[in-house]
Structure 1
Amino acid sequence: MDWREFTGAFKDMSFYLAYNTNVDAIVYLTPEKVQALIEEFGADNVRKRIEEYPRQIDEPLDFVARLVHALKTGKPNAVPMFDQSLNNWFDGHFKYDVERIGGQVGIIANILASLDFKRVIAYSPLLGKKQAEMFVDRPNLFYPVVENEMLAFKPPREAYREDDPVKINRIFEFRKGMRFRLGEEEIEVPFSGRFIVSSRPTELRIETRDELRPFLPQIGESVDGIILSGYQGIKRHYPDGKTDDYYIARARRDIELLKKNHDVKVHIEFASIQDKELRKKVVRELFPMADSVGMDEAEIAHVLNVMGYPDLSDRIFNYNRIEDVVLGGKIILDEANLEILQIHTIYYIMYIARSSNPLKEEELRSSLELATVLAATRASLGDITRPEDLAVGEKVPYNERGEYVKLRFEEARKRIRTRGYKIVIIPTRLVKNPVSTVGLGDTISAGAFASYLALLRRKGVL
């Protein structure tokens, strides 16, 4: 199937998405701005804090250190900020170039609705007015509410709650080739990407509100697929005495309820979790309840680390060899008992499934192709507003390492055991001057999972 056939199939498909939405406040970094931040805190102080590698933003120097580290490596990253008093420092130091919907649910909901899916139900436990107004105004996009003890669906712009706070993530976009100095060291950014300061307001809970939970079985039987994300927003401890264990248990129960009346396919979109113990709990407790998981190469390394494969994790993190990613992907697929694993990197996208998967390798490849066309479209235009926009992404060429990726993949197949698995890989379509890189991984995963389900439906196995 090509993208036109997929978008035709999408018109008969419905999705439920939960849990995380926010406002993305985007800054397009300049060398001058980075240099000013380094000079404000001092190169030696920044360098020392980089070596300490803070796992969360507790003061401005933590931010500057992690930002410079991201620029040096050219790798996208996200670090949480729990202390909301730092908002004033950020707002005083930066003018935001763009404010738009963020969070995996927010980004994916707007994309699926704009691709004319039959129905897209997007849920977030917090829905302030500013957040609600950032959802696209489409007749197929809904927010679930309970009215008169009955399940109802409203456009998000009509479902907001005045008292709900708005979660704001600050995103710092950087471009390949940007140069600045850290003391005597001259740094050139190797890849375009973004660094995210992810706000964690006290009121945020990654959960389904109690009034809606009894209706999850009804929601689950009304959709073709479910995408769950946002577990990186769970905290270890809460002011009311609850812990991460409480919310992980609720997350497990949510999946059980969604599947109660209908064995609907569930995809978990994984995102970087800085806390190692929390990451281990999400992997051990939630992955086995999903059918599909999506992640990037840094995230696969972090997952393998908490699964007990530190050496393989280090190899992927430091060298990113395809054969190590394949080996690691097989481990995750088997230990979590997944139906399919999707891995996206800057240069390629990969599926790993068992040989018993009902789709042929060429069908899986067409699903990945749809995903990379979708991401190229979003990178080119900034937003996708209609299915026909995908013609733009289709014209974007594969990245310059595409042939090398294919060659290394074939070499990897000879080195490691792949019998019993279906493993397919395609190069990404890389936009040279992207309008934005935010949400491209989410776009790939959503496109891959939706097209995967469309192919299963066509075969009559869904």
Structure 2
Amino acid sequence: MNIEKYLKNLSNLSIFLAYNANVDAIKYLNDKDVQELIDLFDINDIKKKIEEYPRVIKSPLDFVARLIHSMKTGKPAEVPLYDDEKLQSWFNQFKYDEERMGGQVGIISNLLSILGLKKVIAYTPILSKKQAEMFVNRENLVYPSIVNGNLVLKKPIESYREDDPLKINRIFEYRMGVKFRLGSEEITTPQANRFIVASRPENLRIEIKDELKEKLPEIGKIVDCAILSGYQAIKEEYKDGKTGDYYLKRAKEDIKLLRKHNKGLKIHLEFASIPNRAIRKKIADNLLPNVDCIGMDETELANILHVIGYDRLSEEILKKSRIEDVVEGSKILLDEYNLEIVQVHTMYYIMYLCGKDNPLSDEELKETLEFATILASTKAALGNIRNVEDLKVGLGVQYNEYGDLLTTIVEELTKKPENKNYRMFLVPSRLVKNPKSTVGLGDTISSGAFVGYVSFLKNKLNS
């Protein structure tokens, strides 16, 4: 594909991003690291805890059990950490290999700034100095503030607040082929992936503060699109009496305010792992009907289907990851929530499902997916994308070995009578065998595809 032409299209695009950024403290696990963690506990206690499958990490044992489960299956996982000082101290004792920008807004805003979008307005309700320093220092990346009642867009490093706390997620990355013993069982990781211990500080609220909220119509007027994420941090209850329902109501208000003076504003919701089923259901019911596009991996798709009543299909996707089931699940979401596009990314492919009447051509839709795979392979190979020249690395990575088979399956599905009202497109991933990092690959894929999609739509409107 012509990357230069694609980037030129993006250079006339402005975007708003909310709500989550954090610092990622990353540890790369080897055989010895994992074995030492296991040896801290009784094997039977670990096995029992794995069966219990804790959805919140309240003890070191909870962490080790969920980590082993993730490594054994080779599937990514993100589990919230109970807000407790002793537990924080236990995690602080690890020697982390590096610290870098984390959170969907943080990762995506840095990437889109580097790709040369006209303006990237990134918002997170807490912005400490250390966090602000992790945003790339470029003219097109700004943070919205209120000064003397007016909306002011300044660089994040000029916008931080001294009293804001720092949110740190601990990321445990592992490669394919890591070996360790759990009693008599020898486990080898089937593929590279990561386990995230997600910080959920009590004072982090997924919201846009009131003084800025009033200016959302003004922000909506100056951008072409928005990516909203971070809803996985919403809790059912808070110590001050507020509830998840309160913050979901505010989130719906934010979307309406952004569109107040820009009815054509395209909004993408980037889904994430949400262990709390009640919150997951409420996010689906309250937010999906109010956005245009959704991005997620196949596990997250299965999790949404589970809470909206499609248990059998959800289980099939979790067990077998068959494309036929992923397509069926995507159709359900597209129809039930009146979405414009459902985008699913997995280790082996990225796929769109949309209605027959989508205004973009087949070639344009495929090109956005192709660009997304180049971004992902670049990030996987290098760990980070620092400039557009880096994309040559991703372009040089080969498609995975199942590419032709996956493409053929989708082409056959397209011909089936039950799919006559849908269009579906699949591009195989360019698979980096031993990636430097897997954190943020889904966010990279989704955002790359979405901004490409909006840029093509904008070109059509202006032609």
Determine the structure 1 residue equivalent to 2:397: 396
Contact 1:322 1:412 in 2 (8 A): no
Determine the structure 2 residue equivalent to 1:231: 231
> For 2:82 and 2:117, how far apart are their aligned partners in 1?
36
Determine the structure 2 residue equivalent to 1:455: 456
Provide the aligned length of Structure 1 versus Structure 2: 461
SS of the residue 1:170 aligns to? strand
Q: Does 1:273 align with 2:270?
A: no
* Counterpart residue type for residue 347 of structure 1: Y
Written as runs of structure 1 = structure 2, the 5 A alignment for 1:52-451 is: 52-85=52-85, 86-92=87-93, 94-263=94-263, 264-413=265-414, 417-451=418-452
Q: Which sits farther off after the overlay, 232-241 or 376-385?
A: 376-385
Superposition deviation, residue 388 in structure 1: 2.5
SS of the residue 2:214 aligns to? helix
> For 2:408 and 2:231, how far apart are their aligned partners in 1?
36
Structure 1 stretches of 4+ with a deviation exceeding 6 A read none
CA RMSD of aligned residues (A): 1.2
> For 1:132 and 1:372, how far apart are their aligned partners in 2?
28
- The answer for unaligned runs of 5 or more in structure 1 is none
Superposition deviation, residue 4 in structure 1: 1.8
Contact 2:410 2:425 in 1 (8 A): no
Superposition deviation, residue 276 in structure 1: 0.5
Superposition deviation, residue 386 in structure 1: 1.9
SS of the residue 2:407 aligns to? helix
Contact 1:229 1:270 in 2 (8 A): yes
Contact 2:225 2:266 in 1 (8 A): yes
Q: In the TM superposition, what whole-angstrom CA distance separates every residue of 1:81-122 from its partner, at most 9, and x where no partner exists?
A: 122321100111x11101001000000010011111111100
Contact 2:298 2:321 in 1 (8 A): yes
> For 2:84 and 2:395, how far apart are their aligned partners in 1?
42
- The answer for unaligned runs of 5 or more in structure 2 is none
Superposition deviation, residue 27 in structure 1: 0.3
Contact 1:327 1:416 in 2 (8 A): no
Contact 2:17 2:227 in 1 (8 A): yes
> For 1:461 and 1:162, how far apart are their aligned partners in 2?
44
SS of the residue 1:300 aligns to? helix
Superposition deviation, residue 225 in structure 1: 0.9
Superposition deviation, residue 339 in structure 1: 0.5
Identity of aligned residues (%): 56
* Counterpart residue type for residue 366 of structure 1: E
> For 2:174 and 2:241, how far apart are their aligned partners in 1?
39
Q: In the TM superposition, what whole-angstrom CA distance separates every residue of 1:113-157 from its partner, at most 9, and x where no partner exists?
A: 111111110000000111111111111110000001000011101
* Counterpart residue type for residue 211 of structure 2: E
SS of the residue 1:417 aligns to? helix
> For 2:112 and 2:73, how far apart are their aligned partners in 1?
32
TM-score, normalised on structure 2? 0.98
TM-score, normalised on structure 1? 0.98
> For 1:195 and 1:72, how far apart are their aligned partners in 2?
12
Superposition deviation, residue 404 in structure 1: 2.2
> For 2:111 and 2:416, how far apart are their aligned partners in 1?
39
Contact 1:17 1:105 in 2 (8 A): yes
Q: CA separation of 1:461/1:316 partners in 2, compared to 1, >3 Å: closer, same or farther?
A: farther
Contact 1:21 1:103 in 2 (8 A): yes
Contact 1:349 1:427 in 2 (8 A): yes
Superposition deviation, residue 411 in structure 1: 4.3
SS of the residue 1:437 aligns to? coil
Contact 2:414 2:424 in 1 (8 A): no
> For 1:98 and 1:191, how far apart are their aligned partners in 2?
22
SS of the residue 1:211 aligns to? helix
Superposition deviation, residue 387 in structure 1: 2.0
* Counterpart residue type for residue 50 of structure 1: I
> For 2:404 and 2:256, how far apart are their aligned partners in 1?
43
> For 1:427 and 1:29, how far apart are their aligned partners in 2?
28
> For 2:3 and 2:227, how far apart are their aligned partners in 1?
21
Contact 1:361 1:423 in 2 (8 A): no
> For 2:324 and 2:417, how far apart are their aligned partners in 1?
7
* Counterpart residue type for residue 304 of structure 1: L
> For 1:146 and 1:103, how far apart are their aligned partners in 2?
23
Determine the structure 1 residue equivalent to 2:5: 5
